[in-house]
Amino acid sequence: MLKIAITGPESTGKSTLSAQLASHYQTVWVPEYARTYIADLNREYTLADIEAIARGQLQLEQQLLCSAKNVLISDTDLLVLKIWSEHAFGRTPQFILDKLAQQDYNLYLLMGVDLPWEPDPQREHPHLRQYFYDWYKRELETIGVPFAEITGQQQERFINARYHIDALLQQHKL
């Protein structure tokens, strides 16, 4: 089973690409647990909420893993939560750091910021996308995981992502 994490700043097409890839590879994708969690929250989120979101994301991924066929696509990962937590609160819960070190994705797709910003009540930083993109890239390089930068408009992103996933599938003979 190949595990692919789609990561990067807000409003870069992570969910759209996740759904497209899951459909193409006839598998499942793990949605971003934070969206549901925050939508049901009737107050400002806290550091404890970010840890709860991490736990929920991991549980959701585990639940969907058994339904995946050759490839599991994850709309987000713990790196997103680490960067969100550090930006919002200046630190990251140890649980997230520990679990981030244990993540076992075969490939990260880092989404570029060349798509237009789409407003959403849960999105917070329309003018910081390049700043966050650079942060994600530094983190991926620091932890030394395989990643590919995905840019262009929707169809080009889909083609680029498939190219990298297909290469992995062939390498692993899946």
Coil, helix or strand for 3? strand
Specify the pLDDT at position 117: 76
**Rounded (10°) angle between helices 129-143 and 78-89:** 120
Specify the pLDDT at position 77: 94
* 66-124 pLDDT tens trace: 999 999 999 999 999 999 999 999 999 999 999 999 999 999 999 999 987 776 666 66
User: Does 10 score more than 80 pLDDT?
Assistant: yes
CATH number at residue 25: 3.40.50.300
* 19-56 pLDDT tens trace: 999 999 999 999 999 989 998 898 999 999 999 999 99
Question: Whole domain around residue 89: which residue ranges?
Answer: 2-172
Number of domains in the chain: 1
Pair 33, 56: CB distance under 8 Å: yes
The pTM is what? 0.93
Q: H/E element holding 134? A: helix 129-143
Specify the pLDDT at position 112: 96
Radius of gyration of the chain (CA): 15
Please tell me the distance from the alpha carbon of residue 37 to that of residue 52, in angstroms, as a whole number: 9
Smallest CA-to-CA distance from 136 within 174, 64, 81 is with 81
